[in-house]
Chains A and B, each alone.
Chain A
Amino acid sequence: MDPERINMDEDEFMNAARLRPENISLPGKDLLRKTPADLTDTHIEYLSVASLENDLSPEQRVELEINLRENSVSRAVFSAIQKTRLAAPSVTYKNKSSLKKLTAGQKVFRIVTSGISAAAAIAILVVSYIFIPDLFRERNSQIVSATIMENVPYTFLIEATDPVMRIREAPQAEEPFKPAKEVFALLSSVPDTSPEPVQIEYQTLPLAFIPVAPDIRYQTSELSLLASNNDVPPLEYYEERGRLRRFIASTFREKVLGEEKYSDDPIKAIDIAIASVGGLNKLLDWNMELMETVDEAGEVKSVYFSSALLTFNSPVRKTNE
């Protein structure tokens, strides 16, 4: 039998077997119809959000607008939803510079400029030290006084390392041999080639002003009061660092250590170490930390250091001096 003929017969059979719907319509179908005015609150909320997000089709927009024209409650909902758009605050990320990376060229440039700057600074210091030595000389002086008994010779044995001390000038005493009359002798640090201790005798001076060290033992790198035949209590301490040293200290504290309060206090080794660690961090993108921890009294308790390889917290020993 012809296969095409067989297929045709099957198609006719299937058509004949297919169910056909009755040609009727739902009574009252129009009652199901809706207008934009019939949109529920939920619809309005959804469409209002979509409107805010600019996500409405043109048809939806028209229907929403029709509803809003006719329904005050919908308008209130729409209006409230339009207010929910957030405005971004104007905040910025403070540590942006720490996120940045240096290119190879920038790294080389930074190392070279740092090296040149350091060399220039050292050169300036050396030249200044050679040609303007007064700027660097530290003159620590402490006034001591003593009242002498009449006609009792006064002897101070003073040792100085560099320079050796000697009497510079002693103003004339008006009445040198009477007690309680003040006359002055000033010891000044002047260079001397003699490394030996110098013995100075005051036979005529009721009150002597002697420069000694700031600490109570009268120790400095410049001189030591070794002995005296009289009690010599310290009265005042004057620090007379050179202007350049104070300037360097204040600049270092302000620019390198980033201290906000002005100070020209002498720079300690820990200050230099902290600054060095910060410099290395910036230069090489390391993440080391060095800091002092202090107790309630404000005294340094320990030194804390951390890096990728090593972390320690070293307590600071106190001495009785």
Chain B
Amino acid sequence: MTVKDYNRAVDEYADAVYRFIRADLRDDDRAHDIVQDSFEKLWKHVAEIEYPVVKSWLFSTAYHTMIDIIRKEKRMTSLEETMEADLLTDSQYTDLNEILHAALERLPEQYRSVVLLRDYEGYSYKEIGDITGLSEAQVKINIYRGRMALKNYIGKIETVI
């Protein structure tokens, strides 16, 4: 990849990687740092990486950096813990997308990432598997579980509203 390709990658993918990490991590500053770090790593390997794979390389690098951070902070939570939390206090949402993003925050990380990659970026199961290191079957089941959790959350919120 050339410097020109690298800068093109910045133009085309920095926003998407940032959007993904920000939504997943729910922390602007850290999302900035992770994007910065991912592009620094890309720059170090710029000669080895071909442009066609750079998008999934960036998402994969950013994803694993984020997972490292989450593991360090022991923020991995179980579905049971998260879905029970604060249901009744969230009735201020007016927009379905807002409700979904609020629900997303309560999803365990392994479901949240795959749903985000699927919905934000339209990645296939295989591509999501390449990024996250999961098998296609695991991706599929995680998306299914994530969707069901979101659906249940919407149902509860609608009941409250």
Interface, chain A (partner B; CB < 8 A): 45-46, 49, 52-53, 55, 77, 80-81, 83-89, 91-96, 98-103
**CA–CA, A81 and B43, complex, Å:** 41
**CA–CA, A85 and B151, complex, Å:** 10
The answer to whether B154 and A80 touch across the interface, beta carbons within 8 angstroms, is: yes
- Select B144's contact among A46, A89, A96, A99, beta carbons within 8 Å: A46
Q: Does B96 contact A (CB under 8 A)?
A: yes
Q: Among the listed stretches B17-25, B48-56, B83-91, which one makes contact with chain A, having 4 or more residues with CB under 8 Å of it?
A: B17-25
Q: Which residues of A contact B17 (CB under 8 A)?
A: 93
CB contact under 8 A between A101 and B147, given known A86-B120, A87-B97: no
**Chain B residue, CB-CB nearest to A87:** B97
The answer to whether B19 and A45 touch across the interface, beta carbons within 8 angstroms, is: no
Q: Which residues of B contact A52 (CB under 8 A)?
A: 147
Q: Which residues of B contact A87 (CB under 8 A)?
A: 97, 119
Question: Which parts of B1-46 form the interface with A (CB within 8 Å)?
Answer: 3-4, 6-7, 10-11, 14-15, 17-19, 22-23, 32, 35-36, 39, 43
Interface majority SS (helix, strand, loop, mixed), chain A? loop
CB contact under 8 A between A53 and B143, given known A88-B119, A103-B3: yes
**CA–CA, A94 and B33, complex, Å:** 12
Question: Which parts of B75-132 form the interface with A (CB within 8 Å)?
Answer: 96-97, 100-101, 104, 115-116, 118-120
Interface, chain B (partner A; CB < 8 A): 3-4, 6-7, 10-11, 14-15, 17-19, 22-23, 32, 35-36, 39, 43, 96-97, 100-101, 104, 115-116, 118-120, 140, 143-144, 147-148, 150-151, 154-155
The answer to whether A99 and B10 touch across the interface, beta carbons within 8 angstroms, is: yes
Interface majority SS (helix, strand, loop, mixed), chain B? helix
The answer to whether B14 and A96 touch across the interface, beta carbons within 8 angstroms, is: yes
The answer to whether B4 and A99 touch across the interface, beta carbons within 8 angstroms, is: no
CB contact under 8 A between A84 and B19, given known A96-B10, A99-B36: no
Q: Which residues of A contact B100 (CB under 8 A)?
A: 83-84, 86
Q: Which residues of B contact A100 (CB under 8 A)?
A: 6-7, 10
**Chain B residue, CB-CB nearest to A81:** B151
CB contact under 8 A between A86 and B151, given known A99-B36, A100-B7, A101-B3: no
